[in-house]
Amino acid sequence: MGKYFGTDGFRGEANVDLTVENAFKVGRYLGYYYGRNHKAKIVIGKDTRRSSYMFEYALVAGLTASGADAYLLHVTTTPSVSYIVRTDGFDAGIMISASHNPYYDNGIKVINGKGMKLEADIEKKIEEYIDGLSGEVPHALRDEIGRTVDYSMGRNRYIGYLMSIPTRAFKDFKVGLDCANGSASSIAKAVFDALGAKTYVINNEPDGLNINRNAGSTHIENLQRFVVENALDIGFAYDGDADRCIAVDEFGREVNGDLILYVCGKELKKHGELANNKIVTTVMSNLGLYKALEAEGIDYAQTAVGDKYVYENMVTEGNVIGGEQSGHIIFSKHATTGDGILTSLKVMEALIEEKQTLAQLTEPVKIFPQLLINVRVKDKTVVLDDADVKAAVEKVTSDLEGNGRALVRPSGTEPVIRVMVEAPTEELCHEHVLKVVNVIKEKGFAVEE
């Protein structure tokens, strides 16, 4: 974890933690770094929050001042930037988004030439440049100054690519979409309409301030109600930059990333396409998912939280599907990052192939209750290394006798320790999570808020 770049880019409140000066310097360094031996080409996308336009202009100024050409996709999704980078030969891509965060936050996600998140060593060089530790980079002069190019055609090609993935039409399916007033607003409905679905959409009128506001994958209750009230067959909710997807079944029940992994992984296995017979999960995936996978004879791997780590495992081990409970699902045959719209298309394919509803497809998975408590601490490393905290975690897991567990992990962006307990009942979750939290507090590690 760097000083500015976390697991998902450089993120913070606009003009407080992430400033236009920061964005300009990110552009300056990327233009210099990728343009040392040739004229660099960098493609930029953004979500719908008001500050995204401000950061777009700052990044373009930095890139072109260093001699790079900046290609603008305008409002689009994070996975579309990843797709265009790797298919159109760009040196790198930039997505301006704070994902599921409120409108006043924003972020800069840098994607390398392979369509993957930027390497940590390059992020470190950018941070050193921002802090003035690496000296100035040269300005481009005269005809070497970079150009700005409208590249909205790239977004349109990505839409066409999504439409080409399903092998069957969605005719007669009534599908609800919650676009979170974000990036999916200009893409998702067009894709489902083209595939023949009867598409019903909410939260697809962004105004710069309403992105993720009581909408999208972090406020699934709106889509749940919408599906039931309109007697829809299924619903999908995206986040601000549409790299995650949470589904809703025909009864209005939430179908999170774990359940989506089960449905899609099982479908891949049926067709002989589940490489290594394995699904990649994170440590936060539910015990109920693992038990259901074992019943199907499907193996699984666990990584740290973050789709970056999921994809690293997939590349290293050759696995083809992986993701997070939060709805970041990666299908490596089609993408190098989580893609919410792609995920919803793959779920639709499973429904059509199996001739079953989403409720029927997910029925074998018995989700265990989970309780997560965040504890603000002085030093995350000290807590994680403490022998008494480790002993408390091991004791809880042992007491649950294979029907639950305790997990302690650090936040990637805050001085916070996340304590999670999974157990057969909510009462047991509450009882056991306090055993670990109390040890952290008793040892003086917690900070009063």
Whether residue 67 is found in the same domain as residue 186:
no
Residue 251 inside a domain? The answer is yes
**191 and 335: one domain?**
yes
340 plus 241 within the same structural domain: yes
The pair of structure tokens assigned to 238 is 């995206």
- Residue 448 reports pLDDT greater than 90: no
pLDDT recorded at residue 305: 87
Position 179 in a domain = yes
pLDDT for 1 equals: 60
Q: How sure is the predictor about 449, in pLDDT bands with cuts at 50, 70 and 90?
A: low
For the beta carbon of residue 5, count every other beta carbon within 10 angstroms: 23
- Is 131 annotated to bind a ligand? Reply is no
Domain ends where: 139, 156, 173? 156
pLDDT tens digits, 85-125? 999 999 999 999 999 999 999 999 999 999 999 999 999 99
CA 246/CA 241 separation, integer angstroms = 13
The per-residue DSSP string of 263-305 comes to: HHHHHHHHTT--GGGEEEEETTS-HHHHHHHHHTT-EEEEE-S
* Strand, coil or helix: 330: strand
Note every long-range contact of 284-287, with CB atoms under 8 Å and residues 24 or more positions apart, other chains counting: 284/324, 284/325, 284/407, 284/420, 285/258, 285/261, 285/324, 285/325, 286/258, 286/325, 286/367, 286/368, 286/370, 286/422, 287/368, 287/403, 287/404, 287/405, 287/422
pLDDT greater than 70 at residue 413: no
pLDDT of 404 higher than 70? yes
Q: What is the CATH number of the domain that holds 25?
A: 3.40.120.10
The tens digit of pLDDT for each residue in 26-56 reads 999 999 999 999 999 999 999 999 999 999 9
Residues 255 and 173 in one domain: yes
| Domain membership flag for residue 448 | no
Could you tell me the pLDDT band of residue 7, with boundaries at 50, 70 and 90?
confident
On whether residue 130 sits in a domain, the answer given is: yes
Q: Does residue 241 sit in the same domain as residue 341?
A: yes
SS3 31: helix
In this structure, is residue 124 part of a structural domain?
Answer: yes
Across the beta sheet with 105-112, what order do the strands follow? 5-6, 9-13, 105-112, 92-96, 41-46, 69-75, 148-150
Mean pLDDT of the chain: 96
The answer on pLDDT for 212 being more than 70 is yes
Which pLDDT band, with edges at 50, 70 and 90, does 2 fall under?
Answer: confident
Q: Is the pLDDT of residue 415 over 90?
A: no
- Asked if 322 and 228 sit in the same domain, the reply is yes
Predicted TM-score (pTM) of the model is: 0.93
Q: What does the pLDDT average to over 161-187?
A: 97
From the list 51, 52, 66, 99, the catalytic residue is 99
| pLDDT value at residue 123 | 97
Instruction: Report the domain count for the chain.
Output: 3
Question: How confident is the model at residue 307, as a pLDDT?
Answer: 87
Span 136-141, average pLDDT = 96
> Which domain-ending residue is among 362, 391, 415?
362
3-state percent helix, strand, coil for the chain, nearest multiple of 5? 40, 20, 35
Inside any domain, residue 313: yes
Residue 47 annotated as binding?
A: no
Compute how many other C-beta atoms are within 10 angstroms of the C-beta atom of residue 137.
18
> Do 341 and 188 form a contact (C-beta atoms < 8 A)?
yes
- Is the pLDDT assigned to residue 412 strictly greater than 80? no
CATH number of the domain within which 389 lies: 3.30.310.50
Q: How confident is the model at residue 414 (pLDDT cuts 50, 70, 90)?
A: confident
| Containing structural domain, residue 407 | 370-442
The verdict on 326 and 297 lying in the same domain is: yes
Q: Average pLDDT, stretch 411-428?
A: 90
What integer pLDDT is reported at residue 226 of this predicted model?
A: 98
Q: Verify that 131 and 19 share a domain, yes or no.
A: yes
For residue 252 the two structure tokens come to 């209005």
Check whether residue 274 and residue 312 sit in a common domain: yes
Q: Is residue 209 part of a domain?
A: yes
Kindly state whether residues 132 and 173 are assigned to the same domain: no
Q: Is residue 106 part of a domain?
A: yes
Tell me the pLDDT tens digit for each residue of 247-306: 999 999 999 999 999 999 999 999 999 999 999 999 999 999 999 999 999 999 999 988
pLDDT, mean of residues 396-403: 93
Quick one: 65 and 147 in the same domain? yes
Contact between 371 and 431 under an 8 Å Cβ cutoff? The reply is: no
388 is in an annotated binding site: no
Query: CB within 8 A of 406, min separation 6: which ones?
Result: 392, 393, 396, 397, 419, 420, 421, 422, 432, 433, 436
Domain termination site, one of 118, 134, 156:
156
> Are both 172 and 152 inside the same structural domain?
no
Q: Is 249 annotated as a binding residue?
A: no
Q: Residue 12: beta bridge partners? A: 106
Is 99 annotated as catalytic? yes
